[in-house]
Structure 1
C-alpha cells in the first residue's frame, strides 16, 4: 500500500453534523482520472483501490500531492493532516512539546486556552468526521460484492472507522454516532455510547481481519483490533466511569502473544535499535515487526506537509544541520520542555564511581560544576595515564588541571582535539557529557551522554529553560525522527522536501506498557511478566541490563515516566496525563502550562476539546461541551 496508492477516489463527504446537498454532487466527475462510484465497486480489485483511500485519508490531505484540492477547506492543507493534528492536540498541549510559530490558534494549544473556534481543534474534528464518512460509504458499497477477499476489506474499514471514533471520543467526548450514509442531521451520542460502539465493532471484526502478520505491510490485521481494545480498556475508567483493566490485560496479552516483536535490529550499528523505529527505511529495517498500525509515507508518491515531513522539518532550527536529517532545511518550530529532558537524567555519582579510582586530575572552568574558582571536578583513573568523568556542564569553557595547580594544566590550541600545556580554553555547551583525558597521546574527548538512548535531543545553542516560547533557542530540539535510512542515505525525495519515514500509531512497546499499567491498577496480570517485557525496552534503550527492573519497581509513577520516554512525540501524551489526572491539575506542572512560565493548573473542562462552533451552528441537535 505504501508504494502503490492508487488515484484517490472521489467519494462524497458527509461530515458529522454538516451535510451538503448541492446538485452537482450527483453528477459524474469530469476528470478522466477519477472514478465513479460504479467503477470503484465494480469488483474486488477496484474496491481495494477505494480501501486505499481510507488509509490515505489519515496520511494525506487532499486529491493531489501536498497541496491543492484539499479535503478540508478554510485551513492550511498541510496543517490539517491527521497525524499533524494528533501531535498538536496530544503532544503540543503537554510537557512534550512547544512550538514557536504564531499562527492563529496554535499558541493557544500549549498555553491551554483554546476556544470553540480554534482552527486546529476544528480541523481535527473534520478530519476524523471525513474518515468516518469515507468508511461508511465504503462499507455500504463493498457489502454488495460477493468476493471473499472483500470481507477482509470491510473488516479493515470497520477498524478504521472504530479508530476514528476512538479519537473523537478521546478528544471531544460527545459526538454524533453515524454508521451509514444519510442526509439527516445526526444526534449526539454520549461517551459511554461511543465507547460501547468502538468496543462492539472491534470485538465483532477481530476474527474477520486477517491473522497476525498475514496482511500487506500498511494494512491492519487481527492484532490491530486487539491492540486498539487494549488502549480502549486502559482508558475506560476515564471515558465511562467503569474500570476495565482486566479486559486490558486480556487483550494486551493477546497482542504480546502474536507474531509482532520488539525491534532489536541495530541496523545502523550505533549501539541501539530504538532509533531504527524512526528512520526512512523503518518499513524494512526490522522496525516494521513492531508496528501494529502505522501511517505510510513516501517522499515521492505520498507527499504531504504533515506526517513525518512535519516532524522532521519542524524540529530543525538554530545551529542544526538539516542535511544530517535528510532534508533541505528546517522550519524552526518544535522543541521540548525540560520535563521531558530531565526524565532521561542519570545518577552522575553512580556512573563515576564505577569508572575507577578518583585521581588528582580534574576539570576546571565556568562550564564545569565549580567554575573557575574550583575546586576542580576530579576525574577517575581508568588505566595508566587514562582518565574519565561523567559531568553536567553549562555553556562556557573548561581546561584539564592537575591537583588544582595552574602550573600543570592543559588546553586545546585550535580546538582540534589535541592538548597543549597551558593551551586555550576548551568551549563547551550545556548538557551531560562523558569526558576522557589521555595523557599518553595528549588527546581528550567530550561526548554527549545519555544512559538511555531514547533521549534524542540537540542542545548546542539551545537553552534547557524556556524563558519565552517563540525563540527556537528556548528549549532543547528533538532529533527522534529522521529522513535518513539505516545506511545513512537520504530518503527517496532527492530535493529533501518530503520524508519517507513511516509513523507508528500503535506499536508493540505501547502494549507492553498498557499491560503493566493495567496490572498495577488491579487488572490481574503478572507483574513478573510485565517486568520481563519492560526490560526488553530498557535493554534496547541502554544497550545492556544495567537499568533492568524487578516487579517491585513497577509503580504507576514509573510507568507514566516510562511511557513518556518510550512514546514521546507519537501522539499519546495528553491521553496518558488525563488518565493520571495530571493534564489540567496542579499535581504535575511544566513550563507554560496554563500559559504561565512556571506552569499552573487550568479548569478541568479542558480535559476534552470543544466541538467546532461551526458544527454547533448548523446542527441544532448538538450541544457544546461544558466550559466552552
Structure 2
C-alpha cells in the first residue's frame, strides 16, 4: 500500500506559508493576475521548508484561508463560495441534471442551478480566482527552486534530488488549474515562473491552453513519482495521465480535433499503474477513504479533515446536505441529526436512471419513501428524492471527528472514471477492443452487485453517458459530459429547472462556457468577455 500523507500532517507550517504566499498579493482582492509574492530567504534556511511550500499548493485545493472555515484569503469573496472543490461541484454538477440546492438565498446558487448566471455571479468569481491562485502558488514555488537559488543557498544534494519531483508536482498542479480554466471559462490569464511581475498578463484561449497543458504534462513525466508511489494526497504520474486523458476525451469540444486514440492510450497507462477498484463502491465516499480499500481506486483526492482542515468543501456540503428534511438521517451519515435540513435533493432525471433493475445496485443510495419525484418548488424541501452517497462515517462504523466538518476526502479522480473513458473512447474510434470496453463496464456493475451485466450489443454512447451518471454522479463531471454529448445547451435534452423552467427549456449555445467574472476583467484589461454574455 502506498504511504499516506494528509495535508493536515504538516498543516501548521503549510498554513503559515499559505499566508506568506498570499497576504502580500494585492491582486488577490479580485483575482491574482500576476504573482507579486515574495518568500523570505530566512524561510529556506531549513531545507524542510521546500516540502512545506509545496504543501501550500495542495492546501489551496482544500482550504480558503489561514484562520478557519469562515476565512478567505481572496478578499471580497466569501469562504464558502471560493473553496476549490465546492465551486467546482457547483459549476459542474449543480448546473446540470443531478442536484438541487434548496437555499436559493445563498449567493450565486440560484443562478447556477437554474442556468441564469451572469458575469456577476460570486461562485464564478470564486472558481476563476481560486484556480488562478493555484497557478500563482505554483509559479512562486518554481521561482524559489531554480538552480541559481538552490546554489546560492547551498541546498544539499539530497534535498535537491527531492526538489526535482517537487517541481514536477508544482507544474502538474499548475497545468491542472489551467485545465479547469480551459474547460469552464474557455480562457485564462496566462503566467509562468518565467514571466515578468507587476504587469498585466496575456490571455490564453482554449487552443493555446490545450497546447501548453499537453506539452507541460508530457515534459514532466520522467520527473514525476511513479503511479501509486507518492504519499497520499500528493500527485504522481497517473494524475498527469488523468488530466491528459480527460483533455483528449473532450478535445473536440476544446479545439475541434479528435484525440480519442490518445485518450485511450493514457487510460491504459493509468490502468497499468496498479490501481484496483475498491471492493465496496461506497468506500470511495466514506470518512476513512484515505485508509480503507478506496486508496487503491482514488487517483487524486481533495483532502478533508474534520479537525485540522475544517472547510465548507464539497464533501462537507454534500454529507450535511444529504440529511433529509423528513428523514433526519444525519446520525447514520456521521453528522448532526438535522444536518442542513434538506439542503440537497436530486432532480428526477438522475432518479429515473436507477429504475427497478438497479434496486439492489450499491450505487443506488436514493431514498424515495414518502416523497414525490418531482420538485415543483425548489424551496419545498419535502419534495424530490434524497441520496446517501457520501458519508462522514467510516467503513468500520465509527463517525468522523466532527459532526459538521467531515473527514471524507473528495475523489477528484478515480479508476472507475478511467474504465468508462476507455469504453467511450473505444466507441468513438480510439482503438482498444470491444471485449475490454465491455469488461470494464461489467467490472463496475459486478462491484456494485448488479447482476445485469451487458454484452457488446448493449454498449452504445448513450449507454455510456447514462452509466457515467450512475457511477460518477455528484463527482463534478456531469456538465462536461453533457457538453461532450451536445446535450447541455440547446433542446436535445431538458431536465427539471434547466433554463429556469420547471420542466426544462433550451439553453443558448454560449452557455457551454461560463462568463468571465466582471471583477476579473476589471483586474486585467487584456481579458475580454466570452461571446454571448
State TM-score, norm by structure 1: 0.78
Q: Find the aligned partners of 2:140 and 2:458 in 1 and give their Cα distance.
A: 49
Q: Do the aligned partners of 1:453 and 1:542 also contact (CA within 8 Å) in 2?
A: yes
SS at match of 1:201: helix
SS at match of 2:413: strand
1:97 is matched with which residue? Answer: 99
State the 1:78 CA deviation. 2.1
C-alpha distance after superposition, 1:235-264 (max 9, x if no partner): 111000111001001111111111111111
Q: Does 1:610 align with 2:515?
A: yes
1:499 is matched with which residue? Answer: 406
1:625 is matched with which residue? Answer: 530
C-alpha distance after superposition, 1:24-60 (max 9, x if no partner): x77xxxxxxxxx5324444541110111111110011
Q: Do the aligned partners of 1:452 and 1:542 also contact (CA within 8 Å) in 2?
A: yes
Identify which of 335, 339, 345 aligns with 1:330: 339
SS at match of 1:614: helix
* Structure 1 or 2: more strand by fraction: 1
Q: Find the aligned partners of 1:104 and 1:484 in 2 and give their Cα distance.
A: 30
2:291 is matched with which residue? Answer: 284
Q: Do the aligned partners of 1:39 and 1:46 also contact (CA within 8 Å) in 2?
A: no
Describe the shift of the 1:17–1:183 C-alpha distance in structure 2 as closer, same or farther (beyond 3 A): farther
Matches within 5 A, 1:1-16: 1-2=5-6, 3-7=8-12, 8=15, 9=17, 10-12=20-22, 13=25
C-alpha distance after superposition, 1:477-509 (max 9, x if no partner): 12100100012111122xx12110111111011
State the 1:535 CA deviation. 1.1
Q: Do the aligned partners of 1:318 and 1:461 also contact (CA within 8 Å) in 2?
A: no
Q: Find the aligned partners of 2:45 and 2:215 in 1 and give their Cα distance.
A: 30
Q: Does 1:302 align with 2:302?
A: no
Q: Find the aligned partners of 1:603 and 1:44 in 2 and give their Cα distance.
A: 53
Q: Find the aligned partners of 1:454 and 1:598 in 2 and give their Cα distance.
A: 26
State the 1:18 CA deviation. 4.9
1:209 is matched with which residue? Answer: 224
Q: Find the aligned partners of 2:356 and 2:287 in 1 and give their Cα distance.
A: 30
State the 1:5 CA deviation. 2.8
Matches within 5 A, 1:34-183: 36-42=39-45, 44-68=47-71, 70-102=72-104, 103-143=106-146, 144-145=149-150, 147-180=160-193, 182-183=197-198
Q: Do the aligned partners of 1:206 and 1:226 also contact (CA within 8 Å) in 2?
A: no
* Structure 1 or 2: more helix by fraction: 2
Q: Do the aligned partners of 1:531 and 1:551 also contact (CA within 8 Å) in 2?
A: yes
Q: Find the aligned partners of 2:80 and 2:467 in 1 and give their Cα distance.
A: 31
Q: Do the aligned partners of 2:420 and 2:464 also contact (CA within 8 Å) in 1?
A: yes
What's the RMSD between the two structures over aligned residues?
1.8
State the 1:518 CA deviation. 0.7
* Stretch deviating more after TM superposition (323-332 or 140-149): 140-149
Q: Find the aligned partners of 1:330 and 1:17 in 2 and give their Cα distance.
A: 33
Q: Find the aligned partners of 2:494 and 2:527 in 1 and give their Cα distance.
A: 34
Indicate the structure (1 or 2) with the bigger Cα radius of gyration: 1
1:409 is matched with which residue? Answer: none
2:269 is matched with which residue? Answer: 254
State the 1:462 CA deviation. 2.8
Identify which of 425, 438, 456 aligns with 1:518: 425
Number of equivalent positions: 503
SS at match of 1:179: coil
Identify which of 332, 345, 368 aligns with 2:355: 345
2:210 is matched with which residue? Answer: 195
Q: Find the aligned partners of 1:225 and 1:104 in 2 and give their Cα distance.
A: 34
SS at match of 2:9: coil
SS at match of 1:292: strand
